[in-house]
Structure 1
Amino acid sequence: MSGKRAKRRVLRPVPLTALAGVGACLAVAAVVPSAFASGAARTEAGSAAAPSGTCTIRSADKHTEAPPSCLGVTAALDHLPAVGEQATLTVNVTAQTSVKNAGLSVQLPPGLRISDRDAGLAAPTADSFGQRTGRKLALTPGTRTVKLKVKAVAAGPAQIQADISDIDHPDPRRAGHDSVELTVGATKGSTGKGVAVSKGRATKDAGRGPGTREPRKVAPKSPAPARSAGASAPTVGAQVCVGGTFRNRFQSAEGGAWNAKANRDEPVSNANVILWGKPTADGGTRQLAAGMTGNGDGKFNLCYTPSTSVTSAAWVEFRTQAGRMWSVVDANGGLYATSSYALNNLSRSTSLGNVYANSGQSRAWHVLDTLNKLWWNRGSTTDCWASSEQGGRCSPITVQWYPGSTDGTYWNGGEDKIHLADNDPDSEHTTVHEAGHALQGKLYRGWWPRVTNCSPHYVDRTSSTSCAWTEGYANAVAFHTFGDTTYYWGNGASLNLANDRSTRGIDPGDACEARVATALVDLWSQVDGGWTKSNTMMSRDTQSSFREYFVTDRPAYGLDTGATARDIIWKHTIWY
């Protein structure tokens, strides 16, 4: 751009990981809400974190940059029960610091039932996701053990989940998660370890429950994702159509709490869908039509011209991919797929009604639909994720997740892939935070700042200007997408990170990611009229710090750095 000082950038591979999720804001007092924050001020006394370096518990693998925790939990069965058999579930809670008000939550799938429990555990509650129980604990350093008797009541994939958290001070440094995956067999000795859910039948439609939401009102600001390879629009004058609505039941950290996440029942938008069929009983399987579910309502209608008067069998398959723009893959890199029941001897158009995603794949479908929310307001001037890319040469966002995963939470720039741990998908903020790293990588065309002092990092503490810039941008993407300044973790805990100059407990300045994140969302909403102009600027020139973004690049690209903009960053304790 004319008048813009030249920058010399040495392109280098992006670092292996960009962390994921945020550490917690510890002590917030007399908060004056930032953009999108609630109007209530809040006070929390004292620091929630144990002294630096004293906690060593990790539930994720070596790639994560998430800080070690002072709390941990493990869950184990004494043996693998078949239908009708009982087993003992042992849950061990480990603390490396004292916690006055810890919350232990245990959730069983529908195929298992609690038959007996320790006296301190609450009476089990049940819904379509299974049974859950829990209790509050006053912890001192050491290990506490809780035991339950569980009975297998149905065959199939099953996952037991256990979570421990500090109720008064939500923070990944004071939380732990573990799970047990098994496939319950119908006869003695037939139950096995692990689950295989990459391909599965649609979950039975038991009616839309209390978590049902009306379809989101969406006013697309850009074209829909490009159709998947081989997809075709419904044939004009087609004689037979198969339609319906694709939905997903999932548990959401947004709206939940430490002992119960919010149950949701929502349509899945922009998912690739294929109509398969066998024209004759002894013939081979053919693809009859393909398309995508509707944006905001999950509806589909696939039409084809039959080659015979009656199609022997036809069924619909949904895949965790949106055109070619984003996808969710399993541990082996394959797409998840849910298939409907088969329609036999099909001779006329029909509706399948509501088709529900396979329950074992629920979190994968939740991730896919969460990315759809970012897509429609991604701040790009092209048909790609970022303005640095043009139609026909778009790079996708890929997320890898599988039940029980400890491979998370981070974005790997070398492979341009997001890795989510087991319960990460329950937090839409975590999914979009990681997508924010991927988006910034696309804006920068493969270049990445030389980030220092960022492993681990804490949202409320000083790290470095480069760490606060990359992590602050990812947090801002989540806040901008959901119109808030509250961060949610996969265990249901949350914390409002709204701040101003009077906020105690958050370090000041542009080396603190909480300050950078809230300054960005306020600039976008109060000065720039959205974030498209800012993202376009970032697609043309790169930044290694918020200072470079604000002082050098914004004025060079015609974005305001006058009195209003300076008042905003000053409010967030940043001044140049």
Structure 2
Amino acid sequence: MKFTAGVAALAGGVLAAGMAVGPAGAAVPGNVCVRGTLAFDAVDSETAGKPTVTSFARNANWELWGRTTASGPESRLATGLTSYKDGTFNACHTTDGKPVTQLRVKFLSSSTKTWRVVSDAKTLQEYSFFSASNPGSAAVQNIGTVKVPAEMALAWKTVDATNKLWWKRANTQTPCWTRNESAGQCTALTYVWKNDGKKGSWWDGGTGYVHLAGLDPRSQHLVLHEAGHFFMGRLYQGNAPYVTNCATHPMEKRTSATCALWEGFPDAVAAYAMEDRRYVYSDSSFVDFDKPAGWESGDQVEGRVVGALLDLWAKGGPDGGTWDRTIEAMITSHPGTFRDYWLTARPKAGLPVTGQARTLIENRTIRY
């Protein structure tokens, strides 16, 4: 399913069409505006003890609704995004001298048309809710902090967490997830989530959708791991590699060389996006990739592959402190195993395979 990306640079806080604001968010003369901050309360699995914390909902879609006649129907007057920095919004409509009444803001569990959380894989219905109605006026109406309803909070946590991958996707050429797609032809990242208390998430290679179980979005690592499968699929232009012996894949044990990369790369995506060296589960338990005591050896071990990738991308490492050229290598070579990545994709992308680079992977028990 294809979507047009509505904003070219979400990281820069570019305004969506229909959002008119003046300097520092001030109302433009002749406008009616509703201003505030969108936030959510959710369990934070990345923090010991799993506290419930309040976070900003950044780069999330909003719509301004109101009536332009006293007895007329309510209509959508403007659209936009919450701030990429702090979840603030300034929803404005140019009145042209006409009265506007009963203004309210609708919030949706999506970011432009680039990623979204839906309740069902068939209807693709996003979660949404309205702020309270406010009488129209020519002044800015500051409604303060708007909290996402508790039963929907993990949908907006998922939207917010996805920013971390978007900002590091290593694509400055198009407003899409990868340079394989151009403006107007972007594939949206779709999460299917229900607040049903269940566990067990996966990426559907047929639809390309990520399915998140009820409590799993408590972990940003878990969300970004599943997004990493989608991302890898887009890097490979929809052609996922053939994978064997991967029904279960303990990070510390041998499965297969194909499984170790297919699951290991998304693990590394999550850690890299989070600027972390762990994989954190929704119950707050975690795997530390720098403490592989008792792990099995070689490139058939998922955790070994993850550690090697993170070491190569690390600050002071042989890849210049970034994964950008690995992303290019994945696009151009579509490696199916770490061996393919090392022996074919890296040399083709101009990445080193000797010296410090070789020492790093050998320290992870991977030797060629």
Query: TM-score, normalised to structure 1's length?
Result: 0.58
Within-5 A mapping of 1:21-100: none
Q: Which residue of 1 aligns with 2:20?
A: 234
SS of the residue 1:288 aligns to: strand
Q: Which residue of 2 aligns with 1:223?
A: 9
SS of the residue 1:247 aligns to: strand
Preserved CA contact (<8 Å) 1:238 1:303:
no
Q: Which residue of 1 aligns with 2:114?
A: 325
Structure with higher RCO (Cα < 8 A, 6+ apart): 1
Within-5 A mapping of 1:117-516: 223-224=9-10, 231-234=17-20, 237-257=29-49, 261-306=50-95, 310-331=99-120, 332-382=123-173, 383-404=175-196, 406=198, 408-499=200-291, 503-516=292-305
SS of the residue 1:253 aligns to: coil
SS of the residue 2:160 aligns to: helix
Preserved CA contact (<8 Å) 1:226 1:324:
no
1:226: Cα distance to partner?
A: 11
Q: 1:251 to 1:504 in 2, by over 3 A?
A: closer
SS of the residue 2:185 aligns to: coil
1:558: Cα distance to partner?
A: 0.8
Letter in 2 for 1:494: F
The structure carrying a bigger helix percent of its residues is 2
Q: 1:361 to 1:411 in 2, by over 3 A?
A: same
SS of the residue 2:170 aligns to: coil
Q: Which residue of 1 aligns with 2:366?
A: 574
- 1:313-348 deviation line (CA, Å, top 9, x unaligned): 110011011011100011342101121000024342
The structure carrying a bigger strand percent of its residues is 1
Preserved CA contact (<8 Å) 1:225 1:324:
no
How far apart are the structure 2 equivalents of 1:349 and 1:381? 35
Q: Which moved more, 1:326-335 or 1:509-518?
A: 326-335
- 1:444-499 deviation line (CA, Å, top 9, x unaligned): 00111110000012111100000001111011011111122222111222232314
SS of the residue 2:159 aligns to: helix
Q: Which residue of 2 aligns with 1:534?
A: 326
Q: Which moved more, 1:384-393 or 1:262-271?
A: 384-393
Letter in 1 for 2:108: R
Look at both structures and tell me which one has the larger radius of gyration over its CA atoms. 1
Unaligned runs of 5+ residues in structure 1 are: 1-221
Letter in 1 for 2:217: P
Letter in 2 for 1:440: M
How far apart are the structure 2 equivalents of 1:324 and 1:399? 13
How far apart are the structure 2 equivalents of 1:329 and 1:342? 25
1:427: Cα distance to partner?
A: 0.5
How far apart are the structure 2 equivalents of 1:414 and 1:225? 30
SS of the residue 1:346 aligns to: coil
How far apart are the structure 1 equivalents of 2:352 and 2:290? 23
Letter in 1 for 2:129: T
1:407: Cα distance to partner?
A: 7.5
- 1:232-253 deviation line (CA, Å, top 9, x unaligned): 2317644222111111111110
- 1:348-403 deviation line (CA, Å, top 9, x unaligned): 22111111111110111110000011111122243221232223322111101011
1:424: Cα distance to partner?
A: 0.3
Preserved CA contact (<8 Å) 1:381 1:536:
no
Letter in 2 for 1:232: G
1:406: Cα distance to partner?
A: 4.1
How far apart are the structure 1 equivalents of 2:30 and 2:41? 32
How far apart are the structure 2 equivalents of 1:575 and 1:263? 44
Q: 1:451 to 1:549 in 2, by over 3 A?
A: same
How far apart are the structure 2 equivalents of 1:395 and 1:309? 39
1:405: Cα distance to partner?
A: 5.7
Q: How many residues align?
A: 348
How far apart are the structure 2 equivalents of 1:273 and 1:458? 41
Unaligned runs of 5+ residues in structure 2 are: 1-7, 22-27
Q: Which residue of 2 aligns with 1:557?
A: 349
Preserved CA contact (<8 Å) 1:253 1:492:
yes
Q: Which moved more, 1:465-474 or 1:345-354?
A: 345-354
Letter in 2 for 1:513: E
How far apart are the structure 2 equivalents of 1:401 and 1:339? 20
1:307: Cα distance to partner?
A: 5.2
How far apart are the structure 2 equivalents of 1:329 and 1:425? 13
Letter in 2 for 1:268: A
Q: Which moved more, 1:533-542 or 1:415-424?
A: 533-542
How far apart are the structure 2 equivalents of 1:271 and 1:351? 18
Q: Which moved more, 1:544-553 or 1:326-335?
A: 326-335
